[in-house]
Amino acid sequence: MKFPAFSADSADRDCIVITQLRGTRRYCQGGAVAILSPGDTTLIDAGQPWTSDCVDTCARLYLRVPRWLIEERLERTQLPLLPRILGKRSPGATLFHLGTSLYAEAGTTLPEDSGALDTYLYALAGCLDAPEWSSTELGRCTQLRPRIEHYIENHLQEKELDPASIAAAAGVSVRHLHRLFAAKGCTVAEWIRERRLERCRSELSDPRNLDGKITDIALHWGFVDAAHFSHCFRKEFGTSPRQFRADQKARANTSC
């Protein structure tokens, strides 16, 4: 039995988002039961006692979040009791991907990447509030997302490009913007970063630009500093920008 650190009526109480990684585990609270398989997610009110048990080896992620923040994202104060968000299909599969990515990158996340947690919470809110989208909503998403991606593509050079400015330009809420990208399996920040990296790689491989400064190229496409750009480039392409440039120069000299 897990007992709360704060009472149920305390403003400081938390919620715990549990993501099942391995094994099957049963969670119980207030008469509700959720049996999670790998990939599933549930939400527990840490202001109430709860129990869990597992017959085999289990592994799971705990994300402790202030309850007021969950209520703010859901735009309501009544939270579902032990909902089972299935990880086998979207949007639960997207939530699982975001949660494990958030954990894997926690040690290297920089201040400018802090929107990843917001994106996760918006995706969680979407799963709890509207686990299934209607065909009408999906049709609107199909029309809206290409326009948003086109806007992002044309504003990659702007360091101020963020979910708030993109949502304002598209005429949608920030929450809806996050849901649009969660449905395609990535966050808004990930999409922007991928597009910027692709533009940088294109310039680094351009024979007309082999002598341009790598830092200038990175800054031109919206990265805030060379170290962050180099980290992202290596993670995306498996090599450093400097080595990539050297390889391109070697190929150019060979072809000559």
Q: Is the pLDDT of residue 135 over 70?
A: no
Q: Mention every residue, 6+ apart, whose C-beta is less than 8 A from residue 195.
A: 152, 153, 156
Is residue 114 a contact partner of residue 183, using CB atoms and an 8 Å limit? no
Q: What is the DSSP letter of 111?
A: G
Give the pLDDT confidence score for residue 136 in this predicted structure: 44
Q: Is the pLDDT of residue 127 over 70?
A: yes
Q: Please state the domain extents for the chain.
A: 14-129, 135-185, 192-255
Where is average pLDDT lowest: 98-102, 138-142, 202-206, 240-244?
138-142
Give the pLDDT confidence score for residue 133 in this predicted structure: 41
Peptide bond into 91 cis (omega under 30): yes
**Fold of the CATH domain 14-129:** Jelly Rolls (2.60.120)
pTM, rounded to two decimals: 0.54
What confidence tens digit (pLDDT) does each residue in 42-82 have?
A: 999 988 889 998 877 889 999 998 998 888 877 778 888 88
CA quadruple 104, 19, 189, 66: dihedral positive or negative? negative
Domain 192-255: CATH superfamily is Homeodomain-like (1.10.10.60)
Q: Mention every residue, 6+ apart, whose C-beta is less than 8 A from residue 207.
A: 248, 252
Average pLDDT, the chain: 82
What confidence tens digit (pLDDT) does each residue in 161-193 have?
A: 999 999 999 888 888 888 788 766 678 888 899
Q: Mention every residue, 6+ apart, whose C-beta is less than 8 A from residue 67.
A: 13, 14, 15, 45, 46, 47, 79
Query: What percentage of the chain carries pLDDT values higher than 70?
Result: 85
Q: What is the DSSP letter of 155?
A: T
